[in-house]
């Protein structure tokens, strides 16, 4: 790809031709992404100087510009072995204007607030902190980047594929003559992740080389593109139902939707789909859908495996808070492991932006009288408590408007506890729930709907909740035991741990008083909890304790969670911040099943899948049998009841599209993809299936394999698709995955997006399947 890096000296005429080609390519890409002639796109293509901020002493001017593919940002680097550096717009999670990163807050002055902005990357890549020459320029950079990213995200699958293939072809055009030789065609095929034998490549080339010139150009390249992206499996489906002059009429489409997709729709719904997704205006006027329009529909929300009705808040949000599964984070402050990893406000922002609704704050006495957050007795870095609260206030409700629980692990002395309470009340203001709702002593939790936009504090409390309504209420001992979790610090010896469990700490009344619906208490058994604990008194369980209760006393645990909240947390021995399987905890009705959000894992995939529906609000209403006090549900030993809705799921894995290379630096590293299907839920429903692997084809592999699953408790089941690169000598590498609740599966021919380890969508990549859910 042509770029700004140093290269061999060109003559004036060669440079003129080169620059003309750059402009032509940028123009073509502008068209492909729907921004032809756009002023913001032109601003980025032109580029400009920005000051890169790394520390108080490292602030250096660097030139940034968008490359002609309209997808890759280039910036100069003065490192000895590298004269340039690039990153893809696909890798950007967000662009934040102002001093909203830790680096800019630490290394720049308040006076340059409106000159600053940060580029936040997905995964573990460091933020890019930048400063423009003026407020207007900073605003222009942020607006332009957000516009291009948003536009790219909103492209349909066909447009993304066309844009991607156009740029892959250009990379394969080694001599920049806008023609493709046979050698370049072979190089291009390897680049898009498909290895073919010479005979096939030669046949494909000959079929398109109508001029017999030995190169492909103009419409011949277009023909090659059409052959390459042809979806035979979609042709078969379309032809079966296109009964009107080779096109689908609205009645034909309705027939398809009723028979194949098993949807309850009318002819009006079919007409709406045609109006929405048909590309040909003439066909649209005749209420017909062409093959291109049909393929477009299959790639839209209505054609995806995930029920598009579940993209909105579709559940009852007026039930008591403990009737919901709540997306929850453990050690939220950590970016990496819990021994020596960095603590950061950024970790809170990332969790909250993924709709996490319960975050953890490990609070310790800090220097200069200011409490800090870090993993005690370890080498993790520290972050100021007040900075964390400011970040939480800023980002808590950007992706979900439902309440956020701040789980305090308090190890501070009285003075700093009082300062914690001050920061919470002054920063969070009226959003902090500091007293019960209503004018009389509550007997149950308020609902997520009633608590929209509010913060709840989970922690120790000196007295009962009725003290808000009884001025003469007796206050308990001002000393309280530390949370059980405090004993989980991995560096402590056994004696310290034992003393920690019985250790008492003084609790500041100011901090105690803002704990309302989430008072932390020690768990002493289900009978004790039933007879002695109020509904708002909740316990935390280490994973091993919770697993033991879920396996040996599941019905009792379920009934405990009908009245009270339970929080589960990973064992302190997980020094690498790995995760436990959350599914058995959900099966037992536990609401706050806290995972290490900073660690991408199968367990986090399951968490993301669990909270995928309901507008990703972070709240999922538990099934009725986990809320009804008359329920006798036992996930381990299934008996007859409303939970037993035996279903048969048939899945045909048909094909894959544009699966990414795992080693992009090696042109010849073509993937050998296979698909694993994993069912999670009650023990009787757990199952695994697997396709065969396809050799040397990540572009358009075809499997056509059928699988069957028996699902007894569908309301607790999750289905996970995993695409891997087969390796006969070592463990398979993961290409992508997608997890969704069983109850959100749509029947029929469906596309499945694929997600990275970080949970972000892989552009253009996906699976095509046929699903059918039947009553057993």
> Which amino acids are annotated as binding site for substrate, given as ranges?
52-79, 458, 460, 540, 567
**Catalytic hit among 310, 323, 330, 770:** 330
191 flagged as catalytic: no
Contacts 24+ apart (CB under 8 A), 176-180: 176/2, 176/18, 176/21, 177/215, 178/217, 179/215, 179/216, 179/217, 180/215, 180/216, 180/217, 180/221, 180/224
Measured between alpha carbons, how far is 271 from 284 in angstroms, rounded to an integer?
A: 9
In the residue annotation, 158 being an active-site residue is answered as: no
Count how many residues are written for the chain. Answer: 776
The C-alpha atoms of residue 495 and residue 600 are separated, in whole angstroms, by 34
Place of tokens 């692990």: 409
CA distance 526 to 393: 36
Residue listed under structure tokens 């003065």: 78
Alpha-helix residue ranges (DSSP H) falling in 156-290: 157-172, 182-191, 198-208, 219-229, 232-241, 250-259, 267-277, 281-285
Grouping H, G, I as helix, E, B as strand and the rest as coil, residue 749 is strand
The distance from CA 379 to its chain's CA centroid, rounded to whole angstroms, is 29
**Tokens standing for 137?**
């320029």
Question: Both tokens of residue 500?
Answer: 């920690």
| CA 508 – CA 461 distance, rounded (Å) | 9
Comparing CA positions, the residue from 357, 319, 571, 347 lying closest to residue 456 is 357
Closest CA to 740 of 582, 613, 649: 613
Taking alpha carbons only, the member of 436, 432, 443 closest to residue 322 is: 443
Distances (CA, A) of 625 to 578, 590, 642, 656: 31, 13, 7, 38
Torsion angle (degrees, nearest 10) of CA 549, 551, 553, 559: 80
DSSP state, 194? B
- Distance, in Å, from the CA atom of 332 to the CA atom of 663, rounded to the nearest integer, reads 31
Q: How many CB atoms lie within 10 A of CB 392?
A: 23
The CA–CA distances, whole Å, from 555 to 47, 562, 568 equal: 63, 11, 17
Q: How far apart are CA 188 and CA 666, in angstroms?
A: 13
The C-alpha atoms of residue 721 and residue 573 are separated, in whole angstroms, by: 30
> Would you state the structure tokens that stand for residue 4, as one six-digit string?
């700004």
In the set 163, 375, 411, 560, the catalytic residue is: 375
Binding residues: 52-79, 331, 360, 362, 409, 458, 460, 540, 567, 670, 672, 696, 725-727
Residues 6+ apart with CB under 8 A from 659: 193, 671, 673, 698, 699, 701, 723, 735, 736, 754, 765
Residue 130 is encoded by which pair of tokens? 């930048």
Q: Which tokens belong to 55?
A: 């520390």
b/e burial code for range 659-686 (CB count within 10 A of at least 16 → b) = bbbbeeeeeeebbbbbbbbbbbbbebbe
Instruction: Determine the 3-state secondary structure of 164 from DSSP.
Output: helix
Annotated binding site for Ca(2+): 331, 360, 362, 409, 670, 672, 696, 725-727
Catalytic residue numbers? Answer: 330, 375
């Amino acid at each position: 790809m042509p770029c700004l890096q140093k290269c061999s000296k060109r003559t004036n005429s060669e440079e003129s031709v080169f620059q003309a080609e750059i402009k032509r390519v940028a123009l073509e890409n502008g068209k492909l992404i729907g921004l032809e002639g756009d002023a913001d796109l032109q601003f980025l293509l032109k580029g400009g100087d920005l000051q890169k901020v790394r520390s108080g002493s490292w602030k250096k001017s660097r030139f940034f510009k968008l490359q002609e593919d309209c997808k890759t940002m280039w910036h100069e680097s003065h490192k000895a072995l590298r004269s340039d550096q690039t990153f893809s717009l696909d890798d950007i999670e967000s662009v934040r204007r102002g001093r909203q990163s830790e680096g800019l807050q630490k290394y720049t002055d308040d006076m340059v607030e409106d000159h600053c902005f940060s580029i936040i990357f997905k995964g573990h890549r460091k933020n890019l902190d930048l400063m423009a020459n003026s407020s207007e320029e900073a605003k222009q950079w942020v607006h332009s980047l957000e516009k291009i990213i948003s536009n790219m995200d909103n492209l349909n699958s066909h447009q993304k594929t066309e844009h991607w293939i156009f740029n892959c072809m250009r990379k394969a055009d080694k001599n920049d003559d806008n023609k493709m030789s046979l050698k370049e065609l072979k190089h291009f095929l390897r680049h898009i992740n498909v290895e073919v034998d010479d005979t096939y490549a030669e046949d494909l080339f000959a079929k398109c080389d109508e001029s017999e010139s030995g190169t492909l150009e103009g419409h011949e390249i277009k023909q090659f593109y059409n052959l390459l992206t042809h979806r035979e499996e979609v042709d078969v489906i379309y032809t079966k139902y296109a009964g009107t002059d080779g096109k689908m009429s609205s009645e034909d489409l309705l027939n398809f939707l009723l028979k194949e997709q098993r949807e309850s729709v009318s002819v009006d719904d079919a007409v709406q789909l045609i109006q929405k997704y048909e590309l040909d205006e003439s066909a649209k006027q005749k209420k017909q859908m062409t093959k291109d329009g049909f393929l477009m529909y299959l790639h839209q929300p209505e054609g995806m495996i995930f029920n598009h009705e579940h993209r909105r808040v579709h559940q009852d949000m007026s039930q008591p808070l403990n009737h919901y599964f709540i997306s929850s984070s453990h050690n939220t402050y950590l970016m990496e492991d819990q021994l020596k990893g960095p603590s950061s406000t950024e970790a809170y922002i990332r969790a909250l932006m993924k709709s996490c609704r319960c975050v953890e704050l490990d609070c310790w006495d800090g220097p200069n009288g200011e409490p800090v957050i870090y993993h005690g007795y370890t080498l993790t870095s520290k972050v100021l408590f007040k900075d964390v609260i400011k970040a939480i206030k800023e980002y808590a409700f950007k992706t979900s408007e439902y309440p956020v629980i701040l789980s305090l692990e308090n190890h501070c002395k009285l003075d700093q506890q009082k300062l914690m309470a001050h920061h919470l009340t002054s920063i969070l203001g009226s959003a902090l729930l500091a007293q019960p709702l209503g004018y009389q002593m509550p007997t149950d939790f308020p609902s997520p709907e009633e608590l929209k936009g509010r913060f709840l504090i989970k922690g120790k409390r000196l007295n009962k909740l009725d003290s808000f309504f009884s001025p003469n209420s007796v206050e308990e001992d001002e000393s309280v035991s530390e949370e059980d979790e405090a004993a989980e610090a991995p560096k402590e010896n056994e004696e310290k741990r034992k003393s920690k469990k019985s250790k008492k700490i003084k609790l500041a009344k100011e901090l105690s008083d803002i704990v309302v619906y989430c008072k932390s208490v020690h768990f002493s058994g289900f009978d004790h909890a039933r007879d002695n604990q109020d509904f708002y008194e909740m316990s935390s369980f280490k994973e091993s304790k919770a697993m033991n209760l879920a396996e040996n006393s599941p019905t009792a645990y379920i009934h405990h969670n009908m009245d009270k909240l339970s929080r589960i947390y990973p064992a302190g021995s997980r020094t690498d911040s790995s995760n436990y399987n959350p599914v058995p905890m959900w099966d037992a009705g536990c609401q706050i099943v806290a995972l290490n959000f900073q660690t991408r894992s199968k367990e986090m995939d399951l968490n993301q899948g669990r909270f995928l529906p309901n507008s990703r609000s972070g709240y999922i209403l538990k099934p009725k049998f986990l809320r009804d006090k008359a329920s006798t549900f036992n996930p381990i030993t299934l008996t007859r009841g409303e939970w037993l809705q035996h279903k048969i799921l048939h899945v045909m894995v048909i094909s894959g599209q544009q699966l990414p290379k795992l080693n992009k630096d090696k042109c010849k590293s073509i993937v050998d993809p296979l698909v694993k299907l994993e069912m999670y839920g009650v023990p009787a429903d757990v199952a695994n299936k697997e396709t065969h692997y396809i050799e040397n084809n990540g572009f358009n592999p075809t499997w056509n394999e059928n699988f069957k699953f028996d699902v007894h408790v569908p309301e607790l089941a999750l289905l996970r698709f995993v695409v891997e690169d087969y390796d006969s000598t070592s463990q398979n590498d993961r290409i992508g995955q997608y997890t969704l609740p069983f109850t959100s599966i749509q029947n029929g021919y469906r596309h499945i997006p694929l997600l990275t380890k970080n949970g972000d969508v892989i552009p253009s990549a996906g699976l095509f399947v046929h699903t059918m859910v039947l009553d057993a």
